[in-house]
Every structure is written in C-alpha cells, then in structure tokens.
Amino acid sequence: MATPIATSQTILVVGGGISGMTAALEAAECGKQVILVEKSPTLGGRTALMYRYFPKLCHPICGLEINLRRLKGNRNVRVLTLAEVSKISGTRGNYAVTLNVAPRYINENCTACGECAKAVTKEIPNPYNYGLNQMKVAYLPHKMAYPLRYVLDPSAIGTADADAARAACKYDAIDLNMQREAVELTVGAVIWATGWKPYDAAKIQPYGYDRYPNVITSLEFERMADLHGPTGGKLLRPSDGKEAKNIAFIQCAGSRDENHLRHCSRICCMASLKQTQYVREAYGADGKSTIYYIDIRAIDRFEDFYLKVQNDPTVSFVKSKVARIAQDGNSGDLTLHGVDTEGYHRYANVHDLVVLAIGMEPAVKGVDIPAEIIADSSGFLESAPGGSIFGAGCASGPLDVNRSVQHATAAALRAIQVVNKSASTEAS
C-alpha cells in the first residue's frame, strides 16, 4: 500500500461512522486534505445496522447513500479501512501519527461477485448481527459496505479455506501475503469520531441477559426487524423461534444508574418508541408493546413522535423501573416484577420477549486514546489540552444521528481553522 501523502495541513478523522464521514466530507468539500481511518472493514458505523431511523422511520440506506456518493465524488478524502491509530504525538497544528493497518487479504481487484464466500466452508459469529447468526470467513460486512469489497477473516489464513477462496476468485483479488503494516503520517488536526458501543447488558444482574435467552438488547431487536438481519425481518424469540407478540421494552437499562452508566444515553427513549412501531408493522393490532420507564425523554421536536405512539392502542406505558425479571423454565416466558409510580401498584407482568433499551458508552474510553485528551466522568471526549484533537458525534456524548451530524460539522470547522492557521504560518 502506498503511504498517503499528508502534511500539517491534512486533517485526520478517526472513525468512519456517520459522524466521521460527515466531518471528513465537510472538511474535504472546503478543499482540505482529509484522511479517514476506520477500524472495521467498512464505513457506516452503527447507523448502517439500524432498521429504520426515528423520527421519520426512513431507512438508513438513504442517508448513508448520500454520504457515500459525496465521498466517491471527492478526491480530497483518502479512506483507510481496517486501520487503527496506535500513537499520536506532537502539538496543535503538527502531529505525528502512527496507524496500524490490518490485512484484508483481498485487494482492489475485488468486484464483490461473492464466489470466494461460496467456496469457503468455515463460519464465524456475525458481528454485524451482534452474533445472532453465523457468517462465512470470506464475507461482505453488509449490503451498504464501503468499500464494496470482500474480506477474508484472519482465522482462514493457513487453512484450506484460504486456498479455496483464492482458487474461486476470477479477478486475482485474493492476496494471502498481505501483512499488517505501520503507517506514519503528519497531520495538522485530528477529529476523533470513534462512536459508541452498547453497555454490557450481562452486568445488569437482575435482568438476566446472561441467563434468559428471551431477554435481548435494543440493538439485537433492531437487527431482528431488518430484512437482512438474522431472522429475515421476523420478530422471533431466541429460545424457541416463536413469534414474539407481547414485548416489553425496559428503559434506562444501564443508563442513569450510579452502578452502571452515570449518564442518560438520550436516544434510548426514542429508540424504544420507534421499535414499538416495528411491532405494529409486523402484527398490526395483534402485537402488544409495553414500555417500562422512569420518565420519557423525547426532546424538542421528538415530542410529536412520542404523542403519536401514546395514541397507538397497541402500546402501553408503565411508569416504573423494573426491579427484576424471572423466567419460566418451561415456556421461556418472562415475568417482570416491580412497583409503579402512579399509585404504587405491585405488578408481576408476563411477556414473551424483553428488549433492554441498552445504554451507550464511548467505543474508545478517553483514557485509551493514544494522545493527551480530557474526558468526562463517563469517558466521553471533551477536549484536548490546548490542542487540536476534536471529538465528533457519539465519541463526545450520546447523540442521535441528526445531532451527531451537526456536531461533526462543527468539529470539521474547528479542524479547518487549525490547518488554515498552520498554512498561513508556513506561507509567511
């Protein structure tokens, strides 16, 4: 791989989700040189794994496609996938960065014909469906993948599968000799857009995510609703594959809790309200959604959506944080125990599937970033001391897509100011 040419007027964007793509494009469309570094084999981040977006319930394909079109049409952005930053040193306007680029084993010749995937036999848990199903060791991450190019999993190297894949490829795209490499860069400013990850649901002991198959996270539910997901768009119970028609959504699963995440993850209320509409879409009046909540945080214009869902007779609301869940060993049904706050009634409600509206934490905690930065008490990036490392999107706090995009645009502007300044000092 040719080392990208970079100078102190280049902007490095780390993380290729909606925030990183936006920051990179906004800066590039202002004429700046940008290097966009993504850890996984594809751009898109978590938004590519959503079934629909609130509040309009449109498909994420739409927003991503626009950004991919912008990206293909712009020569100022260099995209590096399977790449991570291992070191950043230097000061504002002049950083030395070391990237660690992992081998894909499939080069630019790939046409995404899929013959390699047909040729290999071994399967591994599919991370794009949160491990709910398996995928082949030669794979395309998902339908929206960019670059649109297959990947050969490192576990296939040295096995018969690797040779089978190479033999099946008509385009000479499989290169089993690719090596991990270190790339050194000089850049003027860094935008950190590494996004979020779900809180570990198993740590919320009373909800039994680690013990009860029919307790799942909101992210898993999102994949289930998706036609390209593990169940082909059907809402099925993991325990017995039966259709789940009486579904509980538990809010603040991990969030607003001193024992787990201190912060409010902000998007989970809207995510659950949205997901009740997946239930309605699947079963019409026969489905039933119940939201257990402390208070619903549907901010500003989202209030409209909340009102709409409140008027949906298939959705009911229980003002209570569920205390614990018990499973019926035979049926796999779940009983939710608690006391509500509107009259202090003790309840024991049975549901066939429980969706935990799981909280968000930063994908890379402040302390793990290989440069000096300041993070808040939850590890979200706040700033860098006197420097020019800017957080964008969910790396800086829990945000929805719209607000991530706004935030990323602001980060691009700040990075542009830094490189403009170093450009003018170099000129004089």
Ligand X SMILES: Cc1cc2nc3c(=O)[nH]c(=O)nc-3n(C[C@H](O)[C@H](O)[C@H](O)COP(=O)(O)OP(=O)(O)OC[C@H]3O[C@@H](n4cnc5c(N)ncnc54)[C@H](O)[C@@H]3O)c2cc1C
Minimum CB–partner distance for residue 360 and other proteins (Å): 16
**Contact call for residue 191 and ligand X (CB under 6 A):** no
**Token pair in block for residue 22:** 């936006």
Residues 221/275, Cβ–Cβ less than 8 Å? yes
Is residue 363 part of the contact set for ligand X (CB under 6 A)?
yes
At residue 418, what are phi and psi to the nearest 5 degrees? -65, -50
Q: How far is the CB of 104 from ligand X (least distance, A)?
A: 15
- 3-class SS of residue 293: strand
- Determine, following the binding rule CB under 8 A, whether residue 344 of this chain makes contact with other proteins: yes
- Triad 61, 64, 66: Cα angle to 5°: 105
Residues 51-80 that bind ligand X (CB under 6 A): 53-54
Of the pair 75, 344, the CB lying nearest other proteins is at 344
Q: Looking at 12, 18, 138, 248, which residue binds ligand X (CB under 6 A)?
A: 18
What is the three-state SS of 139-205? ECCCCCCCCCCCEECHHHCCCHHHHHHHHHCCCCCECCCCCCEEEEEEECEEEECCCEEECCHHHCH
By the 10 Å C-beta count (0-12 exposed, 13-18 middle, 19+ buried), 115 is classed as middle
The pair of three-digit structure tokens given for residue 102, joined into one six-digit string: 């992992």
Nearest 5 degrees, angle CA 120-CA 121-CA 123? 110
Q: Which residue in the set 202, 339, 350, 374 belongs to the binding site for other proteins (CB under 8 A)?
A: 339
Residue 267 within binding range of ligand X, rule CB under 6 A: yes
The number of residues that bind ligand X (CB under 6 A) is 39
How large is the C-alpha radius of gyration of the chain? 23
DSSP 2-13: PPPP--TTEEEE
Give the shortest CB-260-to-other proteins separation in angstroms: 8
Residue 363 binds which one of ligand X, other proteins, none, with CB within 5 to 8 A depending on kind?
A: ligand X
Q: How far apart are CA 109 and CA 391, in angstroms?
A: 35
Q: How far is the CB of 318 from ligand X (least distance, A)?
A: 20
Among 180, 211, 308, 346, interactor with other proteins by CB under 8 A: 346
User: CA-to-CA distance for 259 and 256, rounded, in angstroms?
Assistant: 9
Interaction of residue 136 with other proteins, rule CB under 8 A: no
Chosen residue from 128, 130, 196, 278 binding ligand X by CB under 6 A? 196
Does the footprint of ligand X cover residue 320 (CB under 6 A)?
no
Q: How far is the CB of 305 from ligand X (least distance, A)?
A: 10
CB of 144 to ligand X, least distance (A): 12
143 near other proteins (CB under 8 A): no
194 belongs to the binding site for ligand X (CB under 6 A): yes
Q: Using CB under 8 A, pick the residue from 218, 314, 320, 388 that binds other proteins.
A: 320
Per-residue x/- mask for other proteins, residues 285 to 304, rule CB under 8 A? ---------x----------
Which residues have CB under 8 Å from 226's CB, separation 6+?
Answer: 49, 51, 233
Exposure class string for 191-205: b at 16+ Cβ within 10 A, else e: bbbbbbbbbebeebe
256 binds other proteins (CB under 8 A): yes
Is 104 among the residues that bind ligand X (CB under 6 A)? Answer: no
Position among 12, 34, 36, 38 found at the interface with ligand X (CB under 6 A): 38
Cα separation, 288 vs 280, in Å, equals: 8
Phi/psi at 415 (nearest 5 deg)? -65, -40
Residues in contact with other proteins by CB under 8 A are 206, 252, 256-260, 294, 320-324, 337-341, 344, 346
Using CB under 6 A as the criterion, which residues of the chain lie in contact with ligand X when the complex forms? 14-20, 37-40, 45-47, 50, 53-54, 84-85, 193-196, 218-219, 222, 267, 271, 274, 360, 363-364, 393-394, 399-402, 404
